[in-house]
Structure formats: C-alpha cells, structure tokens
Amino acid sequence: MMQLIIDNRGLEPPQPMVRILEALAALREGDEIVALMDREPRLLYRELERRGFQWEFSDGDDGPRVRIWREAHP
Amino acid sequence: MNGIEPGAVPPARAVAPFLVTAPLGLTIAGIALLAAEPRALGHPTTPPLLAAVHGVVLGWMTLSIMGATLQLVPSVLGGQPFHSRVHSGAALVACLLHSSGVTLMVAAFAGWRLPLLASGATLAVAGIVGYLLIVARSLTTARSRGPDLTSLRLAHILLGAVAAAGLALALSLRFGWFGVTSGTVAAHAHLGIVGWLGLAVTGVTYRLLPMFGIVRGMEPRFAGVVPGVLAAAAAGAFLIYAVDPPPVARLLLETALALVGVAWLSDAVRLYRRRLRRRADLYSRATLLSFGFLTAALLLAPAAAVLPADAHPFPGPALQVACGFLLLPGWAGATLIGNSYKIVPFIAWYHRYSGVAGTRWTPGTADLYSSRLAHAVLFLVAGGVVSGTAAALGSSLVALRLAGTSFATAGLVACGTLAGTFLVRPERRAARLSAGGTAAPAPRR
Ligand code: HEM
C-alpha cells in the first residue's frame, strides 16, 4: 500500500483541487492520498465521486486533511 | 465518505447572471451622476443622488451579494443547494425582475417620475422576494457556527425589511399614503446601509479574509458580537429616525454605530495583518482601500449627523453625501471588487474545467481575466469615490461628473471582464503554443 501526501496549504484555488485530481491517476487499489488543506474541499467531492473514489475529511489538531482512496470493486 | 452532499454547487446559469450583470448598476449610477444639475449636491435626497444610491446599493451591491450568497452558502457553509431546473429558472426570473425594477427606479429617481418609481419599486421588490424564497433553504440548512452565517441570516431578514420600507416610501410618494419626511427616509436608509449591506459585508469578510488571505489560529475579538449588535443597531436606528429625533439622539446613535464599525475594523485589520498569503495583488489592494474609506467615513459620520445645513465650512448634508460616497462605493465597493475577482473566476473555472482537471492541461483562474483591467476597475472606483467626496465637500459639479464618468466606465469594464471568465478560451492559446513547439504555459497564480 502506498500513501501519497500532498501539501496543499497556502495554495490558491483551484490549485489544491487540480493537484489532487492529477494525483488520482497514480492511485491503485489499496493506495491512498492524504491531502493537507487550509479548509474542507467541498467542491472536490463531486469530481471524486464521478471518478470512482471515496474520501474522508477530518479537521483535527493537525489541521484539515482529506484522505482519498479508490472505491473497491464489488 | 462523510455525508456531505457531493453536488454542493448551484448551476452556473443560476448564479452567473447575478454576479456578471451586477456592475451595470454602477454604470447606471454613474450615468445618473453625469446628468446631475448644479443643485444636486445640496442634500443626499436630491434626485440624481437618490438615483445613484439605488443604482449602487440595489443594482451593483445587492445583485452581487445575492449571487455570492447563492454560491457560497451551499459550497462553503454547508447549506443545501438547489439543483432543479425550476429553481434555476426561478433564480433567473428573480434576477431579471430585480434588475429591470432597479433600472426603472434609477430612471424614475433621476427624472423624479413618481408613477415610474412605483412600478420600478414593485418589480424590484418582487425580485427580492423571489430571491429570498429561493435562498431560504440554503440559509436555514447551513451548518457553520461562525459570524458569517449569523450575519447573512440577519442581513437577509433585514433585506426583506428594507425592501418593504422602500416600497412603502415609493408608494406613499405616488399615492400620498403618509408624509415622506427626512426622518422616514433616514430610517429606511439606515436599515439598508447598516442592516443589509453592513451586516452582509462585515459577516462575509469574517469568512473570506481568512480564506483568501490564509489566516490560521486567530480568533477575531468582536466576531461573536458584531452581527447581533449591528442588527440591533439597524433596527434601533430605524425606529429612532422614524420619529425625527433631536440632534443629540442622532449624535449618540451615530457615535454608537461608528464604535461598532471601529470594533469590526480592528478585527479585520488584525486578520489582514496575520495573513500568510502576503503577495500584493488586487485582493490585498482592494482590502486596504476599503479599510481607508471606512476609516474616513467613521470619522465623518457623527459630525454628518448633527451639523446643520448652514454650518461652515462643511454643512451637515454635504458631510452626509461625502459619507455616502466613502461608505457605499468606497468601503463596500472596494470589498466587493476584491471578492468578485476571486469568486467569479473560480465559479467559471469550476463549471468549465473541474470535469477535466487532472486529465489534461487546464488554465488557472487568473488566466480567465485580465489583471490589468481588474485593477483598472478598482482604481476607477477608488478615483470616483475620492472625486465624489471632494464634490460633496467642495460643491463641485465638475468633480461629481468625474465621479460619474469613473463609475460608469468601471461598471462596464467589470461586467465585461467578469462575463469574459465564462467565455475566454486560454486553452486555445496553450494548444497553439504547444503546437508551435512551446510547452503549455503554467497556470498563473
Ligand atoms: C426595492 C427596495 C428599495 C426601494 C423601493 C427603495 C426606495 C426608496 C425611496 C422611495 C426613497 C426615498 C426618496 C425620497 O427622498 O423621497 C429611498 C431613499 C433611500 N434609500 Fe432606498 N429603496 C430600496 C432599497 C434600498 C436599499 C437596499 C438601500 C441601502 C442598502 C437603500 C438606501 C437608501 C438611501 C441611502 C436613501 C436616502 C437617499 C440618500 O440619502 O441619498 N434603499 N429609497
């Protein structure tokens, strides 16, 4: 399993979204992206869903981050 | 997944018409000033000034805030968006009713044609009511606990109130229902400026300044109280002005309002100084200009409320007109310009390119408009505010016409550049460059 960390903090929209979407192509089943964000990327979710990915957003002590992985095939 | 609706975005056809046509309100305001006669500057309620005020506040500002609210409440504050064609169609009808109503109102004020004013006001209020019905679902279901949402909710209630008060004034002027006095006009004006514009702009700034400037780990001191105090102050000012209060009551009221403004400004300046994104750009310049205009208006406001018409060197009514320029196109206008060139290009980018982003080259938001033209809009408006203020203080018709020319031009350029974000095709230029052997340009930040 590979974990790809993308630091999107301090970037202006739509750069964070573009960087995440670009990284999706390299993601295989079992891999995940962890993107460090300045805020929740609500507008990203529609694209993730359309492209067959799942996500989990958290906003803990270490700041907002979204974890993304490929939807498991049934 | 975390339960957030993936489609938290209203369709572009529902929000773009509000945001793109809004600056035309500034253009018609400018034209009203250009046509002004020498007596126009004597008092804030002369026909050309009434026309210009409503072109700015109802045309430019209200339409922009409406579009931004339809977009931001679902996508940033977690409110439920509307998806259906019926809702999008209804939003378009509300936009059309409002803009045509405001255009008629501005023409009616400028030529003091009361039957036309009554018709224009009725159309504009119908548009506002339609918009309020559409946005109500997003505003009531949004989940943010911050001052932004509280302010927007209160501001929208007060938008309904100021529209009702404005319609009552317009119909009274036409049908003589009740005497329209300087007190009743001031009551309506305070409800609009403090209750609608003031609340919306201050509340949204608490969200957008940290978002666009990237501010981490700083809680603004007065954010918890500013929305409630501003709403109470707007309602209080409405009731007090409605009974034509003596100068001492006006002085107390305006000083209290100015203190709330100072509290908010101190928060906004602290947020601005703590921003991590420190590049000098349109947003930072617009923000600084807006702070400067607000400071000047807050200093003038108490004197404007009490000085009599024969005071020397500056009569009270002239100071009121100056305050109007500094507060409306000055503070609120500069804020709006800074935010518009962030929000509209992003909406355009999202609807045009998010579906292919990551699979092929896409432009950045800055590639969708000319930064020079956007700066021209900002500096034209700022120049118009300075010459409008000078016109009021020095009774200069030439300076007033200069302000009118600046506003009219700025509105046209803003409308063109914002519409262009949905139309320009930077990818064609990129394709030409790469066909010619040059790599596609990196998106400008
Ligand atoms: C559709 C809604 C509105 C209608 C029908 C309307 C109508 C009117 C009318 C009839 C007057 C009085 C004219 C006179 O002096 O006899 C007036 C004054 C005024 N209104 Fe409105 N208004 C509306 C919305 C607003 C809003 C939203 C604002 C501010 C944000 C506003 C700000 C003012 C101001 C400042 C004045 C005094 C004019 C001045 O001092 O130059 N109005 N309005």
pLDDT, one tens digit per residue, over B16-33 is: 999 999 999 999 999 999
Residue in the structure block whose two tokens are 């203080």: B393
Task: Give the per-residue pLDDT at B83.
Answer: 67
d(CA B28, CA B124): 15
Cβ neighbours of residue B17 under 8 Å, at least 6 residues apart?
B67, B91, B92, B95, B96
Which percentage of chain B shows pLDDT scores above 70?
Answer: 96
Average pLDDT value for residue range B403-430: 94
C-beta separation of B395 from B41 below 8 A: yes
- CB-based contact A46 B6, cutoff 8 Å: yes
Position B80 pLDDT exceeds 50: yes
What are the structural domains, with CATH classification, of chain B?
Answer: 12-354+365-423 (1.20.210.10)
Residue in the structure block whose two tokens are 């409503």: B54
Partners of residue B365 in chain A, C-beta under 8 Å: 12-14
> Which of B136-145, B184-193, B382-391, B415-424 comes out lowest in average pLDDT?
B136-145
Position B439 pLDDT exceeds 90: no
> In which band, very low, low, confident or very high, does the pLDDT at B1 lie, cut at 50, 70 and 90?
very low
> In which band, very low, low, confident or very high, does the pLDDT at B5 lie, cut at 50, 70 and 90?
very low
Average pLDDT value for residue range A33-54: 92
CA distance A28 to chain B (A): 16
CATH class of A3-35+52-69: alpha beta
C-beta separation of B202 from B332 below 8 A: no
> Which of B157-171, B198-212, B273-287, B423-437 comes out lowest in average pLDDT?
B423-437
Position A12 pLDDT exceeds 80: yes
Partner A contacted by B75 (CB < 8 A): yes
d(CA B135, CA B69): 8
Partner A contacted by B248 (CB < 8 A): no
> Which of B78-87, B208-217, B279-288, B376-385 comes out lowest in average pLDDT?
B78-87
- CB-based contact A43 B214, cutoff 8 Å: no
What integer best gives the mean pLDDT of chain A? 90
Average pLDDT value for residue range B282-300: 97
Cβ atoms within 10 Å of B182's Cβ, excluding its own: 14
Task: Give the per-residue pLDDT at B246.
Answer: 92
> In which band, very low, low, confident or very high, does the pLDDT at B229 lie, cut at 50, 70 and 90?
very high
At A60 the three-state DSSP class reads strand
Name the residue among B350, B364, B365 with its Cβ closest to that of A43. Answer: B350
Task: Give the per-residue pLDDT at B440.
Answer: 53
Phi-psi category of residue B378: left, alpha or beta, with phi > 0 → left and psi -120 to 50 → alpha: alpha
Position B326 pLDDT exceeds 70: yes
Q: For B339-353, what is each residue's pLDDT tens digit?
A: 999 999 999 999 999
- CB-based contact A14 B353, cutoff 8 Å: yes
Task: Give the per-residue pLDDT at B4.
Answer: 37
Most confident by average pLDDT, A28-32, B43-47, B144-148, B330-334: B330-334
Position A74 pLDDT exceeds 70: no
Task: Give the per-residue pLDDT at B10.
Answer: 83
> In which band, very low, low, confident or very high, does the pLDDT at B7 lie, cut at 50, 70 and 90?
low
Partners of residue B206 in chain A, C-beta under 8 Å: none
Average pLDDT value for residue range B79-89: 80
Name the residue among A49, A56, A57 with its Cβ closest to that of B6. Answer: A49
Task: Give the per-residue pLDDT at A63.
Answer: 87
Average pLDDT value for residue range B60-79: 91
Burial of B174 (0-12, 13-18, 19+ CB in 10 A): middle
Task: Give the per-residue pLDDT at B129.
Answer: 98
Domain positions in chain A:
3-35+52-69
Task: Give the per-residue pLDDT at A29.
Answer: 86
Q: For B240-275, what is each residue's pLDDT tens digit?
A: 999 989 989 999 999 999 999 999 999 999 999 999
Average pLDDT value for residue range A60-70: 91
